[in-house]
């Protein structure tokens, strides 16, 4: 039945049937946001989606994209204004014929896709995310730009421009990695003035500026679970502890855990409230950046995305939509 979903998605907006009610035993849709240099149509990403559907049958999977062209979507991981990209995703998901009628969705973010999903939650969150899982994401930013593959000339060209120009308006409005770069004062570990003034994305969604956005904290605290996975041998993300919102002094190597930082103590984005209700999980997995196998993914799907068990319940919450569309096709 799942192979009919592209056709169904096109037809559902024209149906006039009664809205479908959802059973608590039905799996929520899963939205996935890929990382730097990847695209929404990549085979590897879809194998993750297939595994999610095998683990929790009936799951509808949506791969977030900035452009319908896979090549352009890949380019958008390097080039683009993150404020505009997140807004585009907010509008895309809110208007999707299946996602927009869901009572909520689960979300899976790989590398930079993790903090972008958090931006979606904080800024719009419709449909609302129930459980967020991120792998190797840069929630507290990066202190160094990652290396590129030996043949990835697009990456090499733009990373070269980033160095030395991070805080220019041109770079902050066009080059994606610069928009989650975070520079700090070496002695205090606090963010420096340039970052606070010119950061187009991270300083905002981390509520680090003097004027706080209360909606950001409210939306993030509304999650049931937020699980942050750190790769033990990650040498791509510097510092890797950024995946847990930790602050690392690169000179001394000292790491200040999230719970000892102001962003948590003063609850700038709702992490403390989420933690106090048992919704914040710090996880580690072996290997380097994005070194993922089926075992860890299946565990995530079973732990965070599986619906409550109910005997004899097999149909997905959106199966009623499929039946309604089928009836209309038969009348054509």
The alpha carbon of residue 135 and the mean position of all alpha carbons in its chain are separated, in whole angstroms, by 9
Question: How far apart are the two ends of the chain, measured CA to CA in Å?
Answer: 20
Contacts of 107 (CB under 8 A, 6+ apart): 30, 31, 32, 33, 117, 120, 121, 129, 131, 132, 133
- Tokens 């240099």, located at residue: 37
43 catalytically annotated: no
Give buried/exposed letters for 176-208 (b at 16+ CB in 10 A, else e).
bbbbbbbbbeeeeeebeeebeebbbbbbbbbbb
Q: Which residues contact 85 (CB under 8 A, 6 or more apart)?
A: 66, 76, 116, 176
| Residue 204 annotated as catalytic | no
d(CA 15, CA 12): 5
Per the annotation, the verdict on 34 as an active-site residue is: no
Catalytic residue among 111, 137, 183, 199: 111
How far is 63 from 265, CA to CA, in rounded Å?
Answer: 34
- The span from the CA of 58 to the CA of 318, in Å, is 9
> How many other C-beta atoms lie within 10 A of the C-beta of residue 152?
14
Q: List the catalytic residue out of 26, 38, 204, 234.
A: 234
Evaluate the CA torsion angle 40, 45, 49, 50 in order and state its sign.
positive
Neighbours of 235 (CB within 10 A): 11
Residues assigned a catalytic role: 111, 234, 289
């Amino acid at each position: 039945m799942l192979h009919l979903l592209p056709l169904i998605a096109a037809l559902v907006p024209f149906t006039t049937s009664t809205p479908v009610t959802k059973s608590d035993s039905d799996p929520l849709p899963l939205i996935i946001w890929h990382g730097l240099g990847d695209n929404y149509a990549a085979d590897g990403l879809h194998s993750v989606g297939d595994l999610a559907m095998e683990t929790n049958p009936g799951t509808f999977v949506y791969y977030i994209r900035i452009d319908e062209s896979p090549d352009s979507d890949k380019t958008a991981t390097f080039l683009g204004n993150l404020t505009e990209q997140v807004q585009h995703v907010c509008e895309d998901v809110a208007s999707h014929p299946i996602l927009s009628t869901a009572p909520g969705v689960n979300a899976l973010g790989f590398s930079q896709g993790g903090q972008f999903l958090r931006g979606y939650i904080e800024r719009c969150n419709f449909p609302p995310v129930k459980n967020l899982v991120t792998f190797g994401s840069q929630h507290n930013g990066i202190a160094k730009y990652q290396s590129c593959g030996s043949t990835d000339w697009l990456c090499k060209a733009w990373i070269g421009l980033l160095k030395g120009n991070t805080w220019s308006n041109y770079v902050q409005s066009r080059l994606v990695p610069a928009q989650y770069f975070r520079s700090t004062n070496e002695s205090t570990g606090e963010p420096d003035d340039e970052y606070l003034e010119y950061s187009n994305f991270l300083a905002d969604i981390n509520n680090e500026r003097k004027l706080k956005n209360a909606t950001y904290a409210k939306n993030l605290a509304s999650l049931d679970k937020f699980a942050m996975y750190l790769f033990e041998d990650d040498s791509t993300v510097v510092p890797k502890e950024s995946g847990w919102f930790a602050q690392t002094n690169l000179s001394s190597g000292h790491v200040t855990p999230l719970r000892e930082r102001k962003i948590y103590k003063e609850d700038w984005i709702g992490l403390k409230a989420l933690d106090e209700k048992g919704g914040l999980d710090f996880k580690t997995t072996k290997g380097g950046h994005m070194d993922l196998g089926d075992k860890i993914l299946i565990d995530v799907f079973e732990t965070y995305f599986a619906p409550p068990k109910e005997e004899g319940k097999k149909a997905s919450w959106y199966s009623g939509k499929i039946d309604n569309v089928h009836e209309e096709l038969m009348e054509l």
